[in-house]
A and B are shown apart, each in its own frame.
Chain A
């Protein structure tokens, strides 16, 4: 895929806005970075390519936040979890469209692009979430 875009977290979120979950693949050692990094923590290469990864995965662990920072108080209580994607990489996020008692470690979830967004001054990134 494209190599023109910088391998930054900002760019990761720009791709999300376009409906794509993208990771950086090190061209030297092959390690996949999600989020992308400018320096491979395995071999120190600075050469990467973008690869699209599946947003499907399994819930590794979760919690329900009752006491939230000011910015998220309107959403509380809300569920968050860490999802292991099909390629083995893990990513955290909110889990929506599910009741707390239905949450289960190991359940299948899919990343939903940007629909959970809450606009703010900085950073202007889409807030992805996971749904059953």
Chain B
């Protein structure tokens, strides 16, 4: 119908879809709760925030990010969660892209609304992890990496990001201190978020003194093992005001893939999937990186955040470490990153992370982020990746004018 250039001119930063509500369970350790019960908490918050929405009548489809049935011995998550959100009957689809599962669910929800097949959709994600041992979680997470050459040779997820971190340190002189500063910053942000799993600050000294998980990454460089659920409700931009006075518009979306094996990639110091997804989202939104006021990025490991700064164009290649060192990504800085606390402090229930990022963006762009509110924020970005970066989803959000 449209060439890429025509389509981008046609969109020119216009809203693709609008977020009319959002919900999130507290992230943390929820003994005795199953994924369906956690998701019901997120859905209940989203429904109560939007009293004009009649969920049973209005919501026409559900897309759910969920990584692993191994955790709870429960697959078939789409229909399970539709059922427990009081929405049995609607088409419910699970998307799986490891830790990027609900970033991909969000993208799928946008496809559904833009296609015209569903005017209102709920997209979300869930994971229940803390009832398993660290060894079990390590093994389940590793399933999202290449089996025959990575898992088979004992390479874990921290191991894959450690391989990238070492390459980045070697190429650009990034230091363990700079990598640790991401943890300090994100824990500070998390201390301001009542839904974060860890609401306390950490010192750089303590980060650097923590035990190695996979050199150069230490315990405090790793995101948390978390139970949690999140969701957002999307509609067509011209219907948004029917449901709320304060929608948030999604103006750009990009999703990309890369080789499943890290070893097959041309470079180990950046993620091609992030670059491709960001390029698509920036072009669609008609926005440049310097116009982004705040971002939620996928800090599964502190080093990853430094790499994402560069891939998203927040700084020059090789200067990600300096960006965090200069406090530019801290609240009050030029471009606050992970104001929610990120995966590092808010927590990382893997399937729920992508839409938890969208939840934070919804709060920030409707001035509901309380102690961690970024003043006058107009445009925000979320970046969610799967595994070692074989999937990336980037979205750009704009405050309602």
Q: Decide if A and B are genuine partners.
A: yes
> Footprint of B on A, CB under 8 Å?
9, 13, 35, 60-73, 75, 78, 80-82, 90-94, 100, 105, 123, 125, 127, 129
B residues less than 8 Å from A9 (CB atoms): 148
A69–B159 contact, CB under 8 A? Answer: no
B residues less than 8 Å from A73 (CB atoms): 135
Q: CA A100 – CA B162 in complex, angstroms?
A: 14
Q: CA A73 – CA B133 in complex, angstroms?
A: 14
- Asked if B215 is an interface residue, CB under 8 A from chain A, the answer is yes
B residues less than 8 Å from A64 (CB atoms): 212, 214-215
Chain B interface, >50% SS class: helix
Number of residues from B at the complex interface, CB < 8 A: 35
> How near does chain A come to B267, taking the closest CB pair, in angstroms?
10
B residues less than 8 Å from A67 (CB atoms): 134, 138, 156, 158, 213-214
B154–A82 contact, CB under 8 A? Answer: no
B residues less than 8 Å from A127 (CB atoms): 152-153
Near A by CB (< 8 A), chain B positions 37-74 give: none
Partner of A63, one of B152, B214, B263: B214
Q: CA A19 – CA B155 in complex, angstroms?
A: 23
B135–A80 contact, CB under 8 A? Answer: no
Most buried by A among B150, B155, B158: B155
A70–B139 contact, CB under 8 A? Answer: yes
B154–A63 contact, CB under 8 A? Answer: no
Give 10 pairs: A residue, B residue, CB < 8 Å, sorted on A: A61-B167, A61-B268, A62-B166, A67-B213, A69-B142, A78-B154, A92-B155, A92-B263, A94-B154, A127-B153
In the complex, the chain A residue whose C-beta lies closest to that of B266 is A90
Q: A65-B214, A67-B158, A70-B139 are in contact. Are A94 and B164 (CB under 8 A)?
A: no
B154–A68 contact, CB under 8 A? Answer: yes
B residues less than 8 Å from A94 (CB atoms): 153-154
Partner of A92, one of B150, B158, B165: B150
A residues less than 8 Å from B136 (CB atoms): 70
- Asked if B316 is an interface residue, CB under 8 A from chain A, the answer is no
Q: CA A113 – CA B347 in complex, angstroms?
A: 41
Most buried by B among A13, A35, A65, A71: A65
A residues less than 8 Å from B135 (CB atoms): 68-70, 73
> How near does chain B come to A129, taking the closest CB pair, in angstroms?
8
A residues less than 8 Å from B163 (CB atoms): 61-63, 80-82
In the complex, the chain A residue whose C-beta lies closest to that of B268 is A61
> How near does chain B come to A40, taking the closest CB pair, in angstroms?
14
Going nearest first, the 9 A-B pairs with the smallest beta carbon separation are A63-B162, A61-B167, A72-B154, A69-B139, A64-B215, A92-B263, A90-B263, A63-B214, A67-B213
Q: A63-B162, A65-B154, A81-B163 are in contact. Are A92 and B149 (CB under 8 A)?
A: yes
Near A by CB (< 8 A), chain B positions 162-181 give: 162-167, 170
